[in-house]
A = this chain, B = another copy of it.
Amino acid sequence: MISPGKTRFTSAMQVRPDDIDMFRHVHSSKYLDYVLAARFDQMERCYGMPMQAFLDRGLGWVVKVSHFEYKRPIGLAEKFNVTTWIEDIRGSDVEVRFEIIKAEGNRPACLGWCVCTLVSLETGRPEVIPADVIEKYAI
């Protein structure tokens, strides 16, 4: 039985103009997009298995639960870091925790977690996470 290594990986990002809302801050729904962008980056760069490799095997990841706690707004063109780690692996599900930290001042903008489910692209149904993927996630 292999457990997730809970190693933290970080992706550096910058706000795009289309992320900004009527209050001149990053719009609340964009934070999930930032977390997903960090995961895609880290799947390739840190875990050694990019999203495309899942697609090539007929597999995809979908979000099952998302929980976001917004702490501080992020403004126009700001830089920030998205740290994620795998807290738990259960059947078809991976629990991903994250911290979005403002680059200037190093204070949290948003904290939370998502449960992501591995699905078959053909049936749309959950697939038990294969052993070789679990092994990659054990770092």
Q: Any chain B CB within 8 A of the CB of A104?
A: no
- Residue total for A at the interface (Cβ-Cβ under 8 A): 40
Whether the pair B23, A60 counts as a contact (CB closer than 8 A) is: yes
Q: Is A133 interfacial (CB 8 A cutoff)?
A: no
20 sample A-B contacts, Cβ–Cβ < 8 Å, listed by A number:
A16-B36, A16-B40, A17-B22, A17-B37, A18-B27, A18-B33, A20-B22, A22-B24, A25-B62, A28-B62, A29-B29, A29-B30, A40-B76, A62-B73, A63-B68, A63-B70, A65-B67, A65-B69, A65-B70, A66-B66
> What per-residue 1/0 map shows which CB atoms of A63-98 lie under 8 Å from chain B?
111111110010011000000000000000000000
**Of the candidates B24, B51, B68, B76, which one forms a contact with A76 in the assembled complex, judged by CB atoms under 8 Å apart?**
B51
Nearest chain B residue, comparing its CB with the CB of A114 = B28
Q: Count identical subunits in the complex.
A: 4
The 0/1 profile, CB within 8 Å of B marked 1, for residues 35-73 of chain A is 011001100100000111001000010111111111001
- Residues of B near A25 (CB, < 8 A) are 62
Complexed CA–CA distance, A20 and B25 (Å): 12
- Cα A16 to Cα B38 in complex, Å, equals 9
- Return the chain B residue nearest A20 by Cβ: B22
